[in-house]
């Protein structure tokens, strides 16, 4: 299941989405998230689905690969579905012991579950189509105007990118540690949820040691290459806008305008 987590992974393929300026993709992700929370009924999800479908097709990332990222979050999705279904008051359609299942609760559960699924799939496109270097440069460029207020733009961009990049690395390390302990007789699959959670505690110590070791190696590697942050730093590829970026910006603006009009007018 750990290998199914797609956040932080980069899927290398030549597509128009991969060639977009990273600043446009970061802004598009924020607009997409905003649009999801503006939507208040199922019909308006059509605009979001159209935007998401176009992005998936143009990215050339297999849809099965994106869906795979939902598996580790299945329990969170199921919990969200259950809370909204049982906690929403309204017309009772079925009684499950002391809990009432209402018509409004079912609709709200489906609505919120759909929002969560679309949120996970949509935001994963950013890291799947943007390399760590491009992501760092994009975040730094977007944060540059805040330098006058003392915001360390380059350092923040570097920290966020390294954090994202280390997610699949740490997951792979966790998988190796689990297999090593299972070979020695550890059991991570039997018992209830509480017992399974307790069985994962022995993983924390070797995982933290591995994470600190990798962080130290990364720091030494950066220092040996005379890394000094963003000041006077040059880039092999400078970011620049092209026609495809303008077209993508127009498409993003259309999505935001469509859901806003649908919500407030």
Phi and psi angles of residue 42, each rounded to the nearest 5 degrees, phi first: -65, -35
Q: What per-residue string of b and e applies to 141-177 under the rule 16 or more CB within 10 Å gives b?
A: bbbeeeeeeeeebbeebbeebeebbbebeebebbeeb
Alpha-carbon gap, residue 135 to 126, rounded angstroms:
9
Mean pLDDT computed over every residue of the chain: 82
* Domain residue limits, the chain: 2-264
Alpha-carbon gap, residue 209 to 65, rounded angstroms:
31
Query: Which of 46-50, 135-139, 159-163, 205-209 shows the lowest per-residue confidence on average (mean pLDDT)?
Result: 159-163
7 confidence band (pLDDT: 50, 70, 90):
low
Two structure tokens written together for 149 = 């207020």
3-state secondary structure 4-53: HCCCCCCCCCCCHHHHCCHHHHHHHHHHHHHHHHHCCCHHHHHHHHHHHH
Stretch 126-155: mean pLDDT? 84
User: What is the pLDDT, as a whole number, of residue 237?
Assistant: 73
User: What is the pLDDT, as a whole number, of residue 6?
Assistant: 61
Stretch 2-24: mean pLDDT? 80
What count of Cα atoms within 13 Å lies in the side-chain half-sphere of residue 184? Answer: 7
User: What is the pLDDT, as a whole number, of residue 26?
Assistant: 92
**Which tens digits make up the pLDDT trace of 177-218?**
888 877 877 776 676 667 666 777 777 888 888 888 888 888
> Is residue 99 helix, strand or coil?
strand
User: What is the pLDDT, as a whole number, of residue 31?
Assistant: 92
Evaluate if residue 219 carries a pLDDT over 80. Answer: yes
Phi and psi angles of residue 100, each rounded to the nearest 5 degrees, phi first: -105, 130
For helices 45-59 and 22-38, give the axis angle rounded to 10 degrees.
150
Residue 93 CB contacts under 8 Å (≥ 6 apart), including other chains: 101, 102, 103, 106
**Which tens digits make up the pLDDT trace of 15-47?**
999 999 999 999 999 999 999 989 888 888 889
Stretch 3-19: mean pLDDT? 78
106 confidence band (pLDDT: 50, 70, 90):
confident
User: What is the pLDDT, as a whole number, of residue 225?
Assistant: 81
Q: Model-level pTM?
A: 0.77
Residue 242 CB contacts under 8 Å (≥ 6 apart), including other chains: 21
User: What is the pLDDT, as a whole number, of residue 229?
Assistant: 67
Q: What percent of the chain has pLDDT over 70?
A: 90
232 confidence band (pLDDT: 50, 70, 90):
low
3-state secondary structure 132-171: HHHHHHHHHHHHHHHHHHCCCHHHHHHHHHHHHHHHHHHH
For helices 132-143 and 153-183, give the axis angle rounded to 10 degrees.
150
Q: Which residue has the higher pLDDT, 188 or 239?
A: 239
8 confidence band (pLDDT: 50, 70, 90):
low
């Amino acid at each position: 299941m750990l290998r199914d987590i797609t956040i932080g992974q980069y899927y290398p393929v030549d597509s128009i989405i991969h060639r977009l300026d990273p600043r446009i993709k970061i802004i598009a992700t924020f607009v997409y998230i905003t649009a999801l929370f503006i939507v208040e009924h199922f019909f308006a999800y059509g605009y979001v689905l159209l935007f998401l479908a176009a992005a998936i097709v143009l990215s050339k990332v297999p849809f099965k690969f994106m869906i795979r990222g939902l598996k580790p979050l299945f329990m969170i999705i199921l919990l969200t579905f259950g809370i909204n279904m049982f906690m929403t008051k309204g017309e009772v359609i079925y009684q499950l012991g002391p809990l009432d299942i209402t018509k409004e609760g079912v609709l709200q559960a489906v609505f919120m579950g759909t929002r969560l699924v679309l949120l996970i799939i949509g935001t994963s496109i950013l890291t799947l189509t943007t390399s760590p270097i491009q992501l760092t440069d994009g975040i730094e460029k977007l944060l540059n105007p805040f330098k006058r207020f003392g915001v360390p733009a380059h350092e923040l961009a570097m920290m966020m990118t390294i954090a994202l990049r280390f997610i699949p690395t740490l997951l792979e390390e966790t998988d190796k540690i689990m297999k090593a302990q299972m070979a020695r007789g550890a059991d991570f699959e039997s018992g209830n949820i509480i017992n399974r959670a307790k069985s994962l505690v022995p993983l924390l110590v070797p995982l933290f040691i591995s994470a600190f070791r990798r962080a130290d190696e990364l720091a030494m590697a950066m220092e040996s290459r005379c890394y000094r942050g963003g000041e006077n730093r040059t880039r092999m590829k400078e970011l620049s806008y092209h026609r495809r970026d303008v077209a993508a910006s127009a498409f993003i603006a259309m999505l935001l305008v469509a859901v806003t009009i649908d919500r407030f007018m």
